[in-house]
Structure 1
Amino acid sequence: MNVITCSRQSGSRGEEIIDLLSRELNVQVVDKDSVEHALVKNGLPERSFERYDEKKPGFWDLISSDRERYFHCLKASILEIAQGGNSIIVGRGAPVLLAGVPGVLHLRIVAPLETRIHRVMEAHSCGEADARRLIRESDHNRAGFYRYFFDSDWDSHDLYDLILNTGYLKTRHALEIVRSLLKTPEFQENAATTRRLTELSLAQRILKQILVDEQIPIRFPAVEVSGGTATLTGTVNVAASIERCKAVAENTEGITEVLVQILHAPEIYNGPFM
């Protein structure tokens, strides 16, 4: 089972490399259409996908309840897709969501700005000014998406295991490098991969159920799953919310024990929950 996340700059030939790599490895490409289908299946209204997909949210988008629904549906969808294996997940914050999962390769494809400009001019049959604008808008949106949804820097080298600069590497050489890396023990599927993906997916299912489906009022919510044990933390101002959160976890398939460390502190917050 190969799971690869891939971040790409506009004009870096990322799509070309992803397509060729998927054919060679016989794995699916999880792109915009695939993610949209998974998100809708997880309960996201179709209108919300285009509103947030790899975009920097506007002011009203940031305070909309749709933002939280999109975020939790996205996390649940990416984790479910990764559990299925044999996939290249393109963008959508996957390097952050799958960070630290054993065996997952985090790939980034870049190129020098002038190279990107010439490629975009050719691909879109446009002038240099339009190409610069398209690249600037793409970079701005993708960086904003990472910053506002994941509090992360899209350009940070720390997110990636391998960065390919196609301004200097030919496509066939880039593919050879990826193939060689995938043969190493560090990027082979093992029991730790399956276990960690299962734990992350269970934790996100519980969190989504609490916050989005049940809309239980809780501050600073977090769910950790280890083995079959789920640990719930957060702060509530209504004691009954603790039992509601616990019930959600107990009714989640795959959870055998629930540890509740949610603090009841009504004096901390008495206003509406967002």
Structure 2
Amino acid sequence: MAVICVAREFAALGDETVLELAGLTGYKAIDKEYIEARMTERGIAPEVRAKYDEKKPGFWASLSQDRDDYLHFLRTVLFEEAANGDCIITGRGGFAIFAGVPGVISIKLVAPREIRLQRLKARFQCDDKRAEQMLRQNDHDRRGFHDYFFGIDWNDPVYYDMTINTGKEHPATVARIIDQLRTLIVTEEKEKACLARMNELRLGQAIVTEIVYTRSIPVHFVEADVRGTKVTLHGVANTQSAIDAATAAARKVQGIETVENAIQIVQEFAVMP
């Protein structure tokens, strides 16, 4: 199996290219609407998603528990979908979330600013000023989203296997270019490694969900590093009983045979007046 992550500038024909690519490869397209529906199933309301979806949150939103919930369930949805088989992920920091996973191809679609402005004016039947406002806002939001959630500059080409200028080519042509890259660099060995790693990532998210959201165990900054059927838990807690409860919760997740606990105890302290 393989996963193709497509990052795209606003008005760079990203959705159109993904549609063509899905038809060409038979891969499942994981787009904004699909991700939103899956996150709604997990209790992430539309008004919460609106604060964080491909944008840097405001000050108060950045301090909210909603922020952690959004990122956790975004990762959960993407890991589950990727573990199910071949797919194309549109935006949402997919290339950052799956960084280092074998069998993942990361693509960036760009286009000259003037061409993007022309596309926006044609699509929204608006004037130059309105098109410029939309373009500036979307570029700002997407840059802020990747910087805030992943600490990266999404304009740095080092994060992508290929950057394609869609100002010159039709989405169908761009899709064929991406597919040819896939056939060249995704070997059978990488496909097997991709499937194995995606299952590990899926299990790790399931364990964190069990500890934090299902059982509400008071362990903070929980991470679950799964390798094969073994998981190593990381985080901080105030009591040994919380650590023991987290261990028990991890053991209940199907597919896990061994739990190694690296959660640290950090005693609470009071701030003196």
TM-score between both structures, scaled by the size of structure 1:
0.91
1:204 maps to 205
Corresponding position: 1:257 with 2:258: yes
Q: Which residue of 1 aligns with 2:133?
A: 133
**2:21, 2:172 within 8 Å by CA — same for their partners in 1?**
no
Residue in 1 that maps onto 2:53:
53
Hey, what does 2:248 align to over in structure 1?
247
Q: CA deviation at 1:254?
A: 0.6
Describe the superposition over 1:73-126 as per-residue Cα deviations: whole angstroms up to 9, x where unpaired.
111111001112232111111111111121111111001112211111111111
Amino acid at match of 1:270: F
2:25 matched to which residue of 1? 25
Q: What SS does the aligned partner of 1:183 have?
A: helix
Amino acid at match of 1:121: K
Give, as a single letter, the amino acid of the residue that structure 2 aligns with 1:203. G
State the alpha-carbon separation in 1 of the partners of residues 54 and 269 from structure 2.
Answer: 34
The equivalent residue for 2:234 is 233
Map Cα deviations across residues 119-154 of structure 1 (whole Å, 9 max, x no partner): 111111111111111011111111222222222222
State the SS of the aligned residue for 2:120.
helix
CA contact (8 A) 1:104 1:187 kept: no
- Checking the alignment, whether the CA contact within 8 Å between 2:20 and 2:171 is kept in structure 1 is no
Q: CA deviation at 1:271?
A: 6.5
1:109 touches 1:165 (CA, 8 Å); kept in 2?
Answer: yes
Alignment check: 8 A CA contact 1:68 1:212 kept: no
Which residue pairs with 2:154 in the alignment? 154
Given the superposition, is the C-alpha separation of residues 2 and 261 from structure 1 closer, same or farther in structure 2, using an over 3 Å criterion?
closer
Q: Return the alpha-carbon distance in structure 2 between the equivalents of residues 219 and 271 of structure 1.
A: 18
Aligned 8 A contact 2:21 2:176 in 1: no
Q: Deviations over 1:30-67 (max 9, x none)?
A: 11111012112334234322332222211121111111
Aligned to 2:102: 102
Query: How far off is 1:172 after superposition?
Result: 4.5
Deviation at 1:173, TM superposition (A): 3.8
The residue number in structure 2 matching 1:7 is: 7
Counterparts of 1:35-46 in structure 2 under 5 Å? 35-46=35-46
Question: 135-144 or 251-260: which moved more?
Answer: 135-144
Percent identical residues: 33
Structure 2, unaligned stretches of length 5 or more? none
- Whether the aligned pair in 1 keeps the contact of 2:18 and 2:175 (CA below 8 Å) is no
**How many equivalent pairs are there?**
270
